[in-house]
Amino acid sequence: MSDNTSGCSGNCVPGMKKDMLVPQLAVVTDIRTDTPDVKTFRVKSLDGQPLFDHMPGQCAMLTLPGSGEAMFSITSSPTHKDYKEFSIKRCGMLTEALHAMEPGQEIGIRGPYGKPFPVDTEFRGKKLLFIAGGIGLAPLHSVIDYVRANRDAYGHMDILYGSRSAADLVDLDQIQTEWMKEKDTDVYLTIDRPQEGWDGHVGFVPSYLKELAFKPDCTAIICGPPIMIKFVLQALIEMGFDKKQVYTTLELKMKCGIGKCGRCNIGSKFVCKDGPVFRCDEIDELPGEY
């Protein structure tokens, strides 16, 4: 774990003096509107050099001075070295300001932070089941694209993704044009309520999951609203999964991103450096403050 954070200090800090809390300059080169309240921002360094290396599941701090700073998971795959992408839902003052940005806006970025999904260790060679709800697809996006880029290193991949409505499905276009066509991959989409023009599945993610009745021979990776995670986890257990087979991410308020400001701890763990990725059996050992 400490490899990642310390690895960063070499990568992202040109010159020795710069503190970890000081971001580097970056520019938003492209803004995609995914859903009515989610936009995806592509961020590059000013000189075209890679900002820093990251692994799927890791996060970075974005700052728009005047509006503040916050942690976002990196949506793009590490295989895209020249940029980082962030899918961000509008839900507060900073995200409001980020959504109001235009391409060309310079921002501050620092990272990567946190423990990634074990894509090169535990996940290797395994069958993978991704379960996401709403904006929860963002952290999984990077993993899925990473797996796709190294497709042969992993087993079969199932992706179950649901949202409130068709319009709220993040990256529907890419899902349909790329993921659905990926070899050895099945994608299942669902929306909460029926709507015109939608001939796919309708219903909540946990119930669809039960309908699909996946065999517990794969590693499950869940991300979405807390209530969804709770019911999905229940369903998986019922389906015979062991908590050790299930990974999820946690979200808490963060300021420093490096385990010092004292905000994002759950028990002795800091989400910013020991998370955000947790195996579900590890979570059981933590106090319920998340």
Partner 1 sequence: MSLKKIALTELDRFFSAIALKKKIYLPVEKAGQYDYAPWEPGITYHPEVLHTVKSAKSVFFPQSEDLVRYKRSGLSLAITEVPPEDEEFVVFGVHACDVKGFEVLDRVFLSDPVDTFYKARREHGTVVSVMCPQPEETCFCETFGIDAENPGADVQARICEGTLYMEALTGKGEALLEELGGIVAETNEGKDSEAYAKAAEEHKKIMEKLPLAGLTTDGFGAEADLLTLFNRPEWKELSSSCLGCGTCTYVCPTCQCYDIREYNTGKDIRRFRVWDSCMYSDFTMMAHGSPRPDQLQRFRQRFMHKLKYYPDNYEGAFSCVGCGRCLQKCPVSMNIVKVMKTLGGADHE
Partner 2 sequence: MHKIGVFVCWCGSNIAATVDIDRVVAEAKVQPGVVFAKDYQYMCSEAGQNIIKDAIKEYGLTGIVVCSCSPRMHEATFRKAASQAGLNPFMVEIANIREHCSWIHKDKEEGTEKACVLMRAAVAKVTLNTPLKAGESKVVKRALVIGGGIAGIQTALDIADAGFPVDIVEKNATIGGRMAQLDKTFPTLDCSSCILTPKMVEAKSNENIRLITYAEVEEVSGFVGSFKAKIRKKARYVKEDVCTGCGVCMSKCPSKKGLNEFNMGLNNRPAIYIPFAQAIPNVAVIDSTQCIKLNTGKCGLCEKVCTAKAIDYTQQDEFIEEEYGAIVMATGFRPIDASKFDEYSYSTCKDVVTSLELERIMNAAGPTGGVLLRPSDGKHPHSIVFIQCVGSRDVSGRGKPYCSKICCMYTAKHAMLIRDKYPDVEVHVFYIDVRTPGKNFDEFYRRAAEQYDVDYIKGQVGKVWEEDGHLVVRGVDLIANEQIILNTDMVVLATAIEPDPTARKVANMLTASIDTNDFITEAHPKLRPVESPTAGIFLSGVCQGPKDIPETVSQAGAAASKVIGLLCKDKLTTNPCVAHSDELLCNGCSCCEKVCPYGAISYDTHLINDHGVKETRRVALVNEALCQGCGACTVVCPSGAMDLKGFSNKQIMAEVEAICL
Which residues, 6+ apart, have CB-to-CB distance to 173 below 8 Å?
A: none
Q: Is 121 in the site for partner 1 (CB under 8 A)?
A: no
d(CA 82, CA 52): 9
Stretch that binds partner 1, among 99-107, 143-151, 156-164, 199-207 (CB under 8 A): 99-107
b (16+ CB within 10 A) / e for 8-40: beeebbeeeeeebeebbebebeebeebbebbbb
CA distances from 76 to 43, 57, 236, 248 (A): 10, 10, 27, 18
Q: Is 149 in the site for partner 2 (CB under 8 A)?
A: no
Q: Is 21 in the site for partner 1 (CB under 8 A)?
A: yes
Residues, the chain: 290
Q: Is 97 in the site for partner 1 (CB under 8 A)?
A: no
Residue 108 interacts, among partner 2, partner 1, none and using kind-specific CB cut-offs from 5 to 8 Å, with: partner 1
Q: Is 101 in the site for partner 2 (CB under 8 A)?
A: yes
Which residues ranging from 248 to 287 are in contact with partner 1 (CB under 8 A)? 251-253, 255-256, 258, 260-268, 285, 287
Is there a contact between 43 and 85 (Cβ–Cβ < 8 Å)? yes
d(CA 53, CA 185): 27
CA distances from 177 to 172, 174, 182, 228 (A): 9, 5, 9, 27
Q: Is 24 in the site for partner 1 (CB under 8 A)?
A: yes
Dmax over Cα atoms in the chain, in whole Å? 58
105 vs 174 by CB, closer to partner 2: 105
Q: Is 47 in the site for partner 1 (CB under 8 A)?
A: no
Q: Is 202 in the site for partner 2 (CB under 8 A)?
A: no
For residue 55, the surrounding DSSP H or E stretch is none
Using CB under 8 A, count the residues that bind partner 1: 46
Binding residue (CB under 8 A) for partner 2 from 25, 100, 180, 227: 100
Say which DSSP state 84 is in.
Answer: E
Stretch that binds partner 1, among 1-9, 71-79, 151-159, 185-193 (CB under 8 A): 1-9
Q: Is 91 in the site for partner 1 (CB under 8 A)?
A: yes
158 vs 275 by CB, closer to partner 1: 275
Residue 218, number of CB atoms within 10 A of its CB: 18
238 vs 281 by CB, closer to partner 1: 281
Binding interface with partner 1 (CB under 8 A): 2, 5-6, 8-9, 17-25, 63, 65-66, 68-69, 91-92, 102, 104-108, 251-253, 255-256, 258, 260-268, 285, 287, 289-290
Binding interface with partner 2 (CB under 8 A): 100-102, 105
